[in-house]
């Protein structure tokens, strides 16, 4: 019985972060003496580690905070891939979801998925060699398109047209000879932000990946929500009435045709003819004209997100991707439209912030997903 209790306590500590003994008592309903005994055994076995709690701020009470408990990572190594439209990132992780090593590779992944899959697998093998890792336990990847949850099939012929009909998880398993899990990249980003980014402490939030496309990852009651088939969050093709921009899906006025990295850079090419907009980092632009373009883009995006906030009632709206990392003007624009168009009772409870993990959110989320797969 004690062994079973100890394993249940360990599973809670392993699958969560920064638990205290009192939190374990509350979660399990077990007496504090039982929790104390289980924790002492796990500490003695080296399976968990104890650290000091963060400093308490003024007005936070006089009670002594409990020490923080976390699982100790093993020698297990996992692989993670974040496929973008024009690049991919790869990482090695451990079974606690920590990034061990990573790198980014510039490549037109949209144009040639086979080349992208080959290159990503080769990069993972190179990371293994660099870190003296003999083998991976599993791999998880994020792809910028709709993935059918039951089969892993890429279903869109517009968003990721050259990938349509492919099963990326099967392709990775062939190349790396380990179990693979593939999800939509915005969902992976939301998972990363939930565990290690701006979503920590929030049970209901929207994560928006705003880059060459626009997608959303939804966290509801502390869990990823992917919808009935797996396509939840395909907000890039919500139509903004009256806008003439032609989208790759064939409609006009889709959110991602109006607000995305290509559309923002097209505007910058007119206002900044001296810039090579294909190479410019949006976060480095600090002139008034650039700020106006980014702020207006944020306001346009915010008009769509306001309706989603009324529907989902999140406590935080996290803007990721290249646009999310561009700086305050875009975030301020999103916030202004959410405040203007969402119901006051909804908007007053919402924080609007840039992704805490920046452009790495999807990769970190893939590492977290791989850790879950490794522990399954």
pLDDT score at 110: 84
pLDDT score at 58: 46
Residues 84-97, mean pLDDT to the nearest whole number: 93
**pLDDT range class, residue 54, cuts 50, 70, 90:** low
How far is Cα 145 from Cα 173, in angstroms, rounded to an integer?
19
pLDDT of 251-263, one tens digit each? 999 999 999 999 9
Average predicted confidence (pLDDT) for the chain: 92
Query: Tokens 């104390």 map to which residue?
Result: 36
Residue 253: phi and psi, rounded to 5, are 85, 10
78-188+361-375 folds as Nucleotidyltransferase; domain 5 (3.30.420)
| pTM score of the predicted model | 0.88
* Predicted confidence (pLDDT) at residue 61 exceeds the cutoff of 70: no
Domain with CATH 1.10.10.10 in the chain: 2-71
pLDDT score at 44: 93
**pLDDT range class, residue 156, cuts 50, 70, 90:** confident
Residue 70: phi and psi, rounded to 5, are -145, 150
pLDDT cut 70: percent of the chain above it: 96
Domain with CATH 3.30.420.40 in the chain: 78-188+361-375, 198-356
> How many residues in total does the chain contain?
376
2-71 folds as Arc Repressor Mutant, subunit A (1.10.10)
pLDDT score at 161: 77
For residues 40 and 57, the model is more confident at 40
pLDDT score at 56: 54
* Predicted confidence (pLDDT) at residue 227 exceeds the cutoff of 60: yes
How far is Cα 48 from Cα 39, in angstroms, rounded to an integer?
8
Residues 71-94, mean pLDDT to the nearest whole number: 93
Give 239's contacts (C-beta < 8 A, 6+ positions apart).
Answer: 251, 252, 253, 254, 255
**pLDDT range class, residue 186, cuts 50, 70, 90:** very high
For domain 198-356, which architecture applies? 2-Layer Sandwich (3.30)
């Amino acid at each position: 019985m004690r062994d079973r209790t100890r394993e249940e306590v360990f599973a809670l500590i392993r699958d969560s972060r920064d638990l205290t003994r009192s939190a374990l008592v509350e979660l399990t309903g077990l007496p504090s003496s039982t929790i104390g005994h289980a924790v002492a055994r796990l500490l003695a076995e080296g399976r968990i580690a104890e650290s000091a709690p963060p400093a308490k701020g003024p007005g936070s009470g006089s009670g002594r905070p409990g020490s923080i408990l976390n699982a100790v990572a093993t020698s297990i190594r996992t692989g993670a891939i974040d496929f973008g439209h024009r690049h991919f990132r790869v990482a090695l992780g451990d079974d606690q979801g920590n990034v061990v090593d990573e790198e980014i590779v510039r490549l037109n992944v949209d144009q040639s998925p086979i080349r992208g899959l080959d290159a990503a697998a080769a990069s993972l093998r190179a990371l293994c060699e660099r870190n003296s890792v003999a083998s991976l336990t599993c791999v998880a990847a994020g792809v910028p398109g709709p993935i059918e949850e039951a089969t892993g099939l890429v279903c869109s012929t517009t968003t990721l047209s050259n990938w349509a009909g492919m099963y990326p998880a099967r392709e990775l398993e062939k190349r790396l000879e380990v179990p693979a899990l593939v999800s939509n990249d915005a969902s992976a980003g939301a998972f990363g932000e939930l565990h290690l980014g701006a979503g920590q402490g929030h049970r209901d939030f929207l994560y928006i990946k705003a880059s060459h496309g626009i997608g959303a990852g939804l966290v509801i009651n502390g869990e990823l929500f992917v919808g009935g088939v797996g396509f939840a969050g395909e907000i890039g093709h919500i139509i903004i009435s009256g806008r003439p921009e032609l989208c790759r899906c064939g409609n006009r006025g889709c959110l991602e045709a109006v607000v995305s990295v290509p559309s923002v850079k097209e505007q910058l090419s007119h206002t900044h003819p001296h810039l090579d907009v294909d190479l410019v980092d949006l976060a480095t632009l600090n002139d008034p004209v650039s700020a106006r373009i980014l702020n207006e883009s944020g306001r346009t995006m915010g008009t769509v997100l306001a309706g989603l906030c009324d529907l989902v009632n999140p406590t935080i709206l996290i803007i990721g991707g290249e646009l999310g990392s561009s700086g305050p003007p875009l975030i301020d624009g999103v916030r202004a439209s959410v405040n203007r168009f969402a119901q006051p009772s909804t908007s007053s409870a919402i924080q609007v912030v840039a992704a805490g993990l920046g452009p790495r959110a999807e990769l970190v989320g893939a590492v977290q997903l791989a850790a879950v797969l490794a522990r399954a």
